[in-house]
Amino acid sequence: MTEPNSSEVESSPKELVAAHTERPAFVPEKFWDPEAAKVRVDEMAKSYCELERYLGNAVRVPGEDAGEAEIARFRAALGVPESADSYEISGDAESFEPEPEINRRLHEAGFTQGQAQLVYDLAREYVGPLVQQTAADYEAERQTERLEAHFGGSEAWSGISRQIREWGEANMSPDAMDALSTTYEGCLALHKMMQSQEPALVRKNAAVERDGTDELKALMRDPRYWRDRDPSFIRQVTDGFSRLYAAGEG
């Protein structure tokens, strides 16, 4: 019989088991007790219970045969409002007010509150300027037609408009010139001032020009000016610039 060597005699039974028993590959390291050379059953059971609780609270994507209640729970978990009327859209109400039909389609497609808000924000950021520019281009053509009719044709207006531009650049601030030259009424006001040879009166009083121009530019940002082309509102802006220049006389 072979006698055990000194190292085996000195080792405890637990150490011998640990030394000769390896963790199975399918057992995660956190569930293996290397000293006892066995699975930590209590840790594995605890982890399993936590996994069940997590899966019970997890959001499941409804299948094709899902009922209305299951789909409603899924949409609510994602943050979709109960109805299209529940969207709370914030922002500039004057440019893009919430549209019931758009909200209905967003809700039908499962848009959350944040996603619906993003749609309106993108519309204000990208679509709004395009709409304004298109409206401005159309209105410019209409204003030009009125001016041509007033001054006796396109050729006559072409010559007069050049004179107005040269006079305005020499006698008016760029802000005032830009504001007045975009409307029929403004161009008539410029033509009248040019004919009366009114000098650059406002340039003599920079404070008056700055304060008055800022106020009128604020009016020009009003949708009634750039979008609705409200005649009375346009006249208010035009008259304001005329009074601004007349205020410096003396």
Q: In this structure, what token pair is assigned to residue 23? A: 């963790």
Question: What is the Cα–Cα distance from 80 to 77, expressed in whole angstroms?
Answer: 8
Q: In the chain, which residue ranges form alpha helices assigned H by DSSP? A: 6-10, 13-20, 41-57, 68-78, 100-108, 113-122, 128-151, 154-171, 174-180, 184-195, 206-220, 223-226, 231-246
What pTM does this model have? 0.43
Question: What is the Cα–Cα distance from 226 to 143, expressed in whole angstroms?
Answer: 13
Query: Do 33 and 39 meet the contact criterion of CB atoms below 8 Å apart?
Result: yes
Sequence-separated (6 or more) residues with CB below 8 Å from residue 239: 189
Handedness of CA 32, 33, 38, 44 (dihedral sign): negative
Query: Do 104 and 91 meet the contact criterion of CB atoms below 8 Å apart?
Result: no
Kindly give the confidence (pLDDT) of every residue in the chain, 250 residues in length, as a single tens digit, with 9 standing for 90 and above.
Answer: 455 555 444 555 445 444 447 888 888 888 888 888 888 888 888 887 777 676 666 556 666 777 777 777 778 777 899 889 989 988 765 567 788 999 999 999 989 999 999 999 998 888 878 877 787 778 778 888 999 999 999 999 999 999 999 988 888 778 778 778 878 888 888 888 888 765 444 444 444 445 566 777 777 777 777 667 778 887 787 777 767 665 444 3
Write down the domain spans for the chain: 6-51, 87-124, 152-246
111: how many CB neighbours lie within 10 A of its CB?
Answer: 21
